[in-house]
Structure 1
Amino acid sequence: RMFHDDELEESEKFYVGQPRVLLLIYALYNTLVARSEMVCYFVIILNHMISASMITLVLPILIFLWAMLSVPRPSKRFWMTAIVYTEVAIVIKYFFQFGFFPWNKHVDYTKDKPYHPPNIIGIEKKEGYVHYDLVQLLALFFHRSILKCHGLWDEDEKGDNSSNKEDTDDELSLTGGRRDSSASLKSVNLAASVESIHVHFPEQQTAIRRKSSSSISQLSHRSSFSSHRSKRGKCHDISSMSLETLIISHPAILFFSASYSVVKSLFGLCCFRTLQVYVPIRQFFYNLIHPDYSAVTDVYVLMFLADTVDFIIIVFGFWAFGKHSAAADITSSLSEDQVPEAFLVMVLIQFGTMVVDRALYLKKTVMGKVIFQVILVFGIHFWMFFILPGVTERKFSQNTVAQLWYFVKCVYFGLSAYQIRCGYPTRVLGNFLTKSYNYINLFLFQGFRLVPFLTELRAVMDWVWTDTTLSLSSWICVEDIYAHIFILKCWRESEKRYPQPRGQKKKKVVKYGMGGMIIVLLICIVWFPLLFMSLIKSVAGITNKPLDVSITITLGGYQPIFTMSAQQSQLKDLNQTGFNAFLGSYRGNTAALQFLEGYGKEDITLADLEGNSNSLWTISPPSREKMIQGLLDFSAEFTVVLSWSIQRTLETVYPYYIKAPSDSLAKPIKQLLTGMYCRWENITVSLVKNVSDEGVREWWVLNQLGKRYKTSEESLELFIFSDKVSPPSLGFLAGYGIMGLYASVVLVIGKFVREFFSGISHSIMFEELPNVDRILKLCTDIFLVRETGELELEEDLYAKLIFLYRSPETMIKWTREKT
């Protein structure tokens, strides 16, 4: 065998013979080595999420706007910048840990203040202040060792030296020439300096050259700067000669000439330093937007999924982005017709960025994507680390939901940078879910179309930002035909994978699997309201105990004679022994036992009301005399009015058991107040008169006869049965009641189900198509010619598609099986 080596073969056999756990460790280490730059990015972002200060803010921004945009990899200049910056940050944090600084004397008071200057800068005194910085420095040195091991650490310097040597030779010969083709494939990074900047000082001239991946632009810059330099050199000689003559003729002008030279030197130095920073950045983004070569890729789907995850985090964790909404949830807020401002702002911003991202993707403009990336990186970091802590009044490091949202947004930034670096695809054909024809894509595509307004919004946005000759209605028609044909194609492919022999009955697995599931689903929909209302309170119900029990009794419409309330210690719970004795007293009463089945001991409250009224009886003398006459007349009926608006005669007037339902109307429990075992309780009413120096005071005293818990004092007992209420998260649904759920849920779902089972005969011509490959290819051809700019051909193919659907005979020919 060629290239046979016994030692290598033995090494491979030894490696294969290792345990699987050890092989897994080897594989994980190799993965770590292969993606060591991603480990560095992750540690830097994690450090910033934990620290959330201005010191740690610099490196994440440089990652998203420099490192991830460099082709093919970040330069040595970036990694050295990250290493040196981390070392300086560690030294600064260590220096400010000493206790003699004023802000370190009240650390416990200022550690949770988001706008405390040391907290913003990142120099506050705390435990473990450099743990994550040391891990970050360790990851950077690990990546540096990997680059040195593979010879990639000094690659940029070698390229710079060879490039500068070529530039110097070109300058000396003053002849233009193209660079070697290998020079154009070097990495584009921010380490490059100014292309050709000549700043002339009175004593010396400085020239700085920059390598570039664009040979033509470099050659033109070189020739123009060289000619400009020669012209400026001549002008400088002439100006120097004239200046010497003036100085010799007029010595008084010497001071002004010296001042002029100093100003000219300072101005030139400022221009040089400014251009030294500006030109490399400008050239970096210019080469990024106009690359010589680009590996076209499409990661829009992953960016969209990252935005969707952020959207879900906002919906279910919106309380983390507001000040006074920490204890709220979105369902209870929406059920009360309240839209939190923080939730609204976050949703609109997130949705707006998704729309802009879709527009840039359809227009395939890398420049717009770069501008959007820069604005979004600076905007998100400014809002998350400077605005949000002030709104929520807590530090970013203490806001877990905001940290999760920021981490997912960093994933989006990384994908966006990768998309910019590789460039947008030249053709965007159809939906990403329609790339293959299987059950997974079919169900995902159907779910995508079920989301309200999502399909319509996508169709309109695609029409707005795509060059086409079709009108909006024609565009939507093509999209609908394509979606319909894709669904048919998926079903036809499934029939090919799982063929059904002719003349053979369906298998029981298919019949009971599909049919049984549909039967169960329909039964659940029909009986859902009854099942829901039964389980919502018995299984997930919450006991709603009374906080205050008040009794007010009025005789015949006169001034109330008795007013009393029971609160706190006067409201007692039943223990298990008392509850069992209570149930035993109704052993022969079927109606009462059926009622008591729905209540436990925790649902019953005993209210012990004092017999003395808590208010004096203030009644006018005429009304008093009239009430006495009414009481003495035994032939007339005299009524007692209770606070819950139940009128009874004086005998058997007091309802011993009251039901407190989920609504505000409390009612007596008739099942426990009728029969031979129980009855309405009698009460005694007496008027107490107290004569003193302050005058005559009167109040009424009531006492209940036949109390379960005997007391020597005059008092009233009242048993309250509290109905369970639904949880707050399901209150908006349970509030409709059984009839409301039937009207709003069952009937609406029934309408959709009826549309699925009816009207099939009208769509047979478009549903029962044996072979849809030709129609599917016609739709993809429309997408293809649209992307290539053949708009006239797009009109012709669309007309062909419309004619095909208008002609049943042609449709039959196009969709017959291939022989």
Structure 2
Amino acid sequence: RMFHDDELEESEKFYVGQPRVLLLIYALYNTLVARSEMVCYFVIILNHMISASMITLVLPILIFLWAMLSVPRPSKRFWMTAIVYTEVAIVIKYFFQFGFFPWNKHVDYTKDKPYHPPNIIGIEKKEGYVHYDLVQLLALFFHRSILKCHGLWDEDEKGDSSSNKEDTDDELSLTGGRRDSSASLKSVNLAASVESIHVHFPEQQTAIRRKSSSSISQLSHRSSFSSHRSKRGSTSTRNSSQKGSSVLSIKQKSRKELLMEKFREQMIKAKAFTIKKTLQVYVPIRQFFYNLIHPDYSAVTDVYVLMFLADTVDFIIIVFGFWAFGKHSAAADITSSLSEDQVPEAFLVMVLIQFGTMVVDRALYLKKTVMGKVIFQVILVFGIHFWMFFILPGVTERKFSQNTVAQLWYFVKCVYFGLSAYQIRCGYPTRVLGNFLTKSYNYVNLFLFQGFRLVPFLTELRAVMDWVWTDTTLSLSSWICVEDIYAHIFILKCWRESEKRYPQPRGQKKKKVVKYGMGGMIIVLLICIVWFPLLFMSLIKSVAGITNKPLDVSITITLGGYQPIFTMSAQQNQLKSLDSNEFNDFLRSYRGNTAALQFLEGYAREDITRADLEGNSNSLWTISPPSRKKMIQGLLDFEADFTVVLSWTIQRTLEEVYPYYIKAPSDSLAKPIKQLLKDCKWENITVSLVKNGSKEGAREWWVLNQLGKRQKTPQESLELFIFSDKVSPPSLGFLAGYGIMGLYASVVLVIGKFVREFFSGISHSIMFEELPNVDRILKLCTDIFLVRETGELELEEDLYAKLIFLYRSPETMIKWTREK
């Protein structure tokens, strides 16, 4: 051993001998120490999600546009800014908790108003107003202690002092204004009438070596030094000019002229001071982003897949939680809204914005433009924060802290911002070769890739976007041809690799596990597809069906087209469910009736409702004397037919007119149940006209009474049994609405067509499917991608022509795909 220490070995043995729980705690603590800056970012974002105010808005924006873009790590200036800002925010919040402020006197009334000024600023009075700020401050101090332990806290100051000293020596020694190659400045003369101000900007070099964020302070020192030096020179020039003028001038200046001259001098000084302070802020920021866009070296990485997954998660959150981004759609459902051909405005706007950002991100990734990505990052950070914390609360009329779905969407978007900043800091990859799912050849990548290709229009959209934003000599059809060949060869490569991992010896029959596993699953799947409509419509109402009891039962009887003689409805207490004894007696009464028992098998006790209708009509009989006389004549004529019209549009004679049993299906058309009637005959009812004389005149109404009621009552009344069909749940109503024949036509036949294409036409694709070794073809496709990325466009045309010839020549294809 190069180095040996007994104490270290004893310490290692002691550490290994600790319990697993303690080792896990050690590992978690070490992870926390190693990622302490991520912990700080998480706490700051969490604090902003819960507080959602202007006070907490500053630090998240600084994280995404300063800290995460700093190389190699955030500077001491950022952490000191975060610590001081958090301390000031705590003091401000504490100060505004006193009750003598006017807005603190009506807290219960204004606490849920999103546009109340104290709520927007973050100075409202509430319980636990500073808890998360204290946790944030604790995390910042924890990270500060870790940096100090590793000697990284004062690293920037040392670098700044040494660089400032070197720059000062260079300025004093080099009179020509030359600088070193990494910090050369050229003078821009902003001359005024009395004094000139020299401002220095960095030269537009093709490559500037990246430094840490200390370059910001370095440039600020330089600009201040040069401004001070130029100010001294201009002051001496001004003094000399004034001296000369005093000698040559004969007439002494008046008091007014002297005041005006002093005023102009003060204005010039104020202008110079303003420009100086502005440049002290602008120049470091400009230099920071310039070094970010034009690095001399960078650790190239590719996190586009992770950014795409974050955008996809946000897209899913919008689809399934779109109600959180609207005003009056808190109880809405996207499936019900789309089934009613209604597109919610909030859902449409959010989907289009999210999809548009995904397209722009893909274009920037293909063009590999870091400057465009930086501009897009800045616009997106400010735009998302402005929309989420200032526009959305007004649209939804509730605070962001009360909108859980919006908080989840914002947190995932913050993950995207972090990945995007990491991509900017490291730079885009120089070569983008193929799909990210085609990097390895196994079952997982195979099924994920095939699932990716099954998403409608996703493969086509990706191919067209890649063709638009990638330099190539191929036409769109040729590009799509290469992509299709590459996808096909990748799938074959995955199958060939699986055959190598799990070889099948020659002359052996397939194992039963494979046959019954794969074949049995396919058989069950095909059977389920064939009988799916029948199973679905049977189970949807019997197993998952919901009892749909009637809320109102109305009966209207009209004699011969005259004024209705009877109108009555039953509601609430008049609609009664059968108890167990009544239901058993009801079934027992049809013991010998096979048709009735078969019908009753489809209904449970809770599906049957008995409606008790009062025999007296609830409206007076108002008929004109001529019509009354004519109706009496018709009733006295026993040889003529006299019709009675029921409310469910069934016309019958007065005898056997009452149906007694009504079936209420899922639609609005109620039908009588003939299976439960004795000899299929309807019940008889008695109809009598009651006349009551009073001072106001004679009043008449009709009284109806059912003769064969199950529930015997002394007063005149009608009894009606309603059998309610179960209805499908609302979530499956759009599918159940097609019916059995609709499901067969729209589901089974379409799936059957795809299955038939899989089992037929195999003979035409044998020469392209049964390729023993596809490594050479796969390498040819990757070579096309490679020469395209390197700019060898003529070679791309040659390789594409070679690929096309390979598929046109069966003999060449056989030679290329032989086993090595």
Establish whether TM, by shorter chain, passes 0.5.
yes
CA deviation vs aligned residue, 1:125-184 (integer Å, no higher than 9, x gap): 111111111111111110010000100011100100011110111111116899999999
Query: Using a 3 Å threshold, how does the CA distance of structure 1 residues 446 and 658 change in structure 2: closer, same or farther?
Result: same
Q: Which moved more, 1:278-287 or 1:467-476?
A: 278-287
Instruction: Give how far 1:671 is off.
Output: 1.4
* Preserved CA contact (<8 Å) 2:183 2:202: no
CA deviation vs aligned residue, 1:760-785 (integer Å, no higher than 9, x gap): 11111111111111000000000000
Secondary structure of the residue aligned to 2:202 is coil
Instruction: Give how far 1:569 is off.
Output: 2.2
Query: Using a 3 Å threshold, how does the CA distance of structure 1 residues 207 and 14 change in structure 2: closer, same or farther?
Result: closer
Query: Using a 3 Å threshold, how does the CA distance of structure 1 residues 525 and 64 change in structure 2: closer, same or farther?
Result: same
Query: Using a 3 Å threshold, how does the CA distance of structure 1 residues 718 and 210 change in structure 2: closer, same or farther?
Result: closer
Secondary structure of the residue aligned to 1:499 is coil
For residue 178 of structure 2, what is the aligned residue in structure 1? 178
CA deviation vs aligned residue, 1:380-421 (integer Å, no higher than 9, x gap): 111111111111111111111111111000000000000000
Secondary structure of the residue aligned to 2:484 is helix
Query: Using a 3 Å threshold, how does the CA distance of structure 1 residues 218 and 363 change in structure 2: closer, same or farther?
Result: farther
CA distance in 2 between partners of 1:156 and 1:250 (Å): 53
* Preserved CA contact (<8 Å) 1:212 1:218: no
CA distance in 1 between partners of 2:502 and 2:127 (Å): 64
Secondary structure of the residue aligned to 1:719 is strand
Q: Which moved more, 1:31-40 or 1:206-215?
A: 206-215
CA distance in 2 between partners of 1:553 and 1:527 (Å): 45
* Preserved CA contact (<8 Å) 1:319 1:328: yes
Query: Using a 3 Å threshold, how does the CA distance of structure 1 residues 243 and 607 change in structure 2: closer, same or farther?
Result: farther
Secondary structure of the residue aligned to 2:300 is coil
* Preserved CA contact (<8 Å) 2:438 2:449: yes
CA distance in 2 between partners of 1:435 and 1:201 (Å): 45
Instruction: Give how far 1:602 is off.
Output: 1.9
Instruction: Give the number of aligned pairs.
Output: 804
Instruction: Give how far 1:630 is off.
Output: 2.2
Q: Which moved more, 1:591-600 or 1:426-435?
A: 591-600
CA deviation vs aligned residue, 1:507-545 (integer Å, no higher than 9, x gap): 111111111111011000000000110111111111111
Q: Which moved more, 1:523-532 or 1:695-704?
A: 695-704
Query: Using a 3 Å threshold, how does the CA distance of structure 1 residues 725 and 263 change in structure 2: closer, same or farther?
Result: same
Query: Using a 3 Å threshold, how does the CA distance of structure 1 residues 103 and 577 change in structure 2: closer, same or farther?
Result: farther
Secondary structure of the residue aligned to 1:700 is strand
CA distance in 2 between partners of 1:497 and 1:428 (Å): 29
Q: Which moved more, 1:712-721 or 1:325-334?
A: 712-721
* Preserved CA contact (<8 Å) 1:199 1:205: no
CA distance in 2 between partners of 1:710 and 1:696 (Å): 32
Which residues of structure 1 form unaligned runs of 5+? 234-238
* Preserved CA contact (<8 Å) 1:681 1:704: yes
Query: Using a 3 Å threshold, how does the CA distance of structure 1 residues 209 and 474 change in structure 2: closer, same or farther?
Result: closer
Q: CA RMSD in A?
A: 5.0
* Preserved CA contact (<8 Å) 2:227 2:276: no
Instruction: Give how far 1:587 is off.
Output: 2.5
Secondary structure of the residue aligned to 1:136 is helix
Instruction: Give how far 1:653 is off.
Output: 1.4
CA distance in 2 between partners of 1:382 and 1:731 (Å): 40
* Preserved CA contact (<8 Å) 1:660 1:666: yes
CA distance in 2 between partners of 1:71 and 1:710 (Å): 92
Q: Report sequence identity in percent.
A: 94
CA deviation vs aligned residue, 1:92-142 (integer Å, no higher than 9, x gap): 111111111111111111111111111111111111111111111111110
CA distance in 1 between partners of 2:201 and 2:357 (Å): 49
CA distance in 2 between partners of 1:648 and 1:73 (Å): 91
CA deviation vs aligned residue, 1:356-383 (integer Å, no higher than 9, x gap): 0000000000000000000000111111
Q: Which moved more, 1:588-597 or 1:484-493?
A: 588-597
Secondary structure of the residue aligned to 2:786 is helix
Query: Using a 3 Å threshold, how does the CA distance of structure 1 residues 26 and 688 change in structure 2: closer, same or farther?
Result: same
* Preserved CA contact (<8 Å) 2:75 2:212: no
Query: Using a 3 Å threshold, how does the CA distance of structure 1 residues 305 and 780 change in structure 2: closer, same or farther?
Result: same
Instruction: Give how far 1:440 is off.
Output: 0.4
* Preserved CA contact (<8 Å) 1:70 1:421: yes
CA distance in 2 between partners of 1:113 and 1:378 (Å): 23
* Preserved CA contact (<8 Å) 1:66 1:190: no
CA deviation vs aligned residue, 1:422-459 (integer Å, no higher than 9, x gap): 00000000000000000000000000000000000000
Q: Which moved more, 1:328-337 or 1:211-220?
A: 211-220
Secondary structure of the residue aligned to 1:207 is coil
Correspondence for 1:529 among 518, 528, 533: 533
Secondary structure of the residue aligned to 2:190 is coil
Instruction: Give how far 1:251 is off.
Output: 9.6
CA deviation vs aligned residue, 1:35-89 (integer Å, no higher than 9, x gap): 0000000011111111111111111111100100000100111111111111111
Query: Using a 3 Å threshold, how does the CA distance of structure 1 residues 200 and 278 change in structure 2: closer, same or farther?
Result: closer
CA distance in 2 between partners of 1:73 and 1:190 (Å): 36
CA distance in 1 between partners of 2:102 and 2:217 (Å): 56
Instruction: Give how far 1:692 is off.
Output: 2.3
* Preserved CA contact (<8 Å) 1:200 1:206: no
Instruction: Give how far 1:737 is off.
Output: 0.1
For residue 230 of structure 2, what is the aligned residue in structure 1? 230
* Preserved CA contact (<8 Å) 1:178 1:219: no
Secondary structure of the residue aligned to 1:702 is strand
For residue 296 of structure 1, what is the aligned residue in structure 2? 300
Instruction: Give how far 1:606 is off.
Output: 1.6
* Preserved CA contact (<8 Å) 2:171 2:177: no
CA distance in 1 between partners of 2:247 and 2:297 (Å): 49
CA deviation vs aligned residue, 1:553-604 (integer Å, no higher than 9, x gap): 1112222111111122222222233222322222232222222222222212
Query: Using a 3 Å threshold, how does the CA distance of structure 1 residues 180 and 503 change in structure 2: closer, same or farther?
Result: farther
* Preserved CA contact (<8 Å) 1:71 1:187: no
Query: Using a 3 Å threshold, how does the CA distance of structure 1 residues 341 and 790 change in structure 2: closer, same or farther?
Result: same
Query: Using a 3 Å threshold, how does the CA distance of structure 1 residues 570 and 202 change in structure 2: closer, same or farther?
Result: closer
CA deviation vs aligned residue, 1:770-819 (integer Å, no higher than 9, x gap): 1111000000000000000000000010011111111111111111111x
Query: Using a 3 Å threshold, how does the CA distance of structure 1 residues 244 and 517 change in structure 2: closer, same or farther?
Result: farther
CA distance in 1 between partners of 2:191 and 2:354 (Å): 34
Query: Using a 3 Å threshold, how does the CA distance of structure 1 residues 709 and 188 change in structure 2: closer, same or farther?
Result: farther
CA distance in 1 between partners of 2:661 and 2:261 (Å): 108
Correspondence for 1:794 among 788, 793, 796: 796
CA distance in 1 between partners of 2:193 and 2:158 (Å): 15
Q: Which moved more, 1:436-445 or 1:686-695?
A: 686-695
* Preserved CA contact (<8 Å) 1:301 1:432: yes
CA distance in 2 between partners of 1:191 and 1:94 (Å): 49
Query: Using a 3 Å threshold, how does the CA distance of structure 1 residues 516 and 115 change in structure 2: closer, same or farther?
Result: same
CA distance in 1 between partners of 2:214 and 2:117 (Å): 46
CA distance in 1 between partners of 2:539 and 2:378 (Å): 53
* Preserved CA contact (<8 Å) 2:210 2:297: no
Instruction: Give how far 1:714 is off.
Output: 1.6
For residue 424 of structure 1, what is the aligned residue in structure 2? 428
CA distance in 2 between partners of 1:556 and 1:592 (Å): 33
Instruction: Give how far 1:213 is off.
Output: 9.3
Q: How does 1:366-405 map to 2 (within 5 A)?
A: 366-405=370-409
* Preserved CA contact (<8 Å) 1:54 1:120: yes
Query: Using a 3 Å threshold, how does the CA distance of structure 1 residues 671 and 760 change in structure 2: closer, same or farther?
Result: same
Query: Using a 3 Å threshold, how does the CA distance of structure 1 residues 352 and 188 change in structure 2: closer, same or farther?
Result: farther
TM-score scaled by length of structure 2: 0.92
Secondary structure of the residue aligned to 1:312 is helix
CA distance in 1 between partners of 2:454 and 2:621 (Å): 68
CA distance in 2 between partners of 1:683 and 1:620 (Å): 25
* Preserved CA contact (<8 Å) 1:73 1:187: no
For residue 727 of structure 2, what is the aligned residue in structure 1? 725
For residue 145 of structure 1, what is the aligned residue in structure 2? 145
Query: Using a 3 Å threshold, how does the CA distance of structure 1 residues 182 and 264 change in structure 2: closer, same or farther?
Result: closer
* Preserved CA contact (<8 Å) 1:194 1:276: no
Query: Using a 3 Å threshold, how does the CA distance of structure 1 residues 175 and 580 change in structure 2: closer, same or farther?
Result: farther
CA distance in 1 between partners of 2:123 and 2:224 (Å): 50
For residue 236 of structure 1, what is the aligned residue in structure 2? none
For residue 221 of structure 2, what is the aligned residue in structure 1? 221
* Preserved CA contact (<8 Å) 1:289 1:367: yes
Query: Using a 3 Å threshold, how does the CA distance of structure 1 residues 194 and 465 change in structure 2: closer, same or farther?
Result: farther
Query: Using a 3 Å threshold, how does the CA distance of structure 1 residues 272 and 386 change in structure 2: closer, same or farther?
Result: same
* Preserved CA contact (<8 Å) 1:190 1:284: no
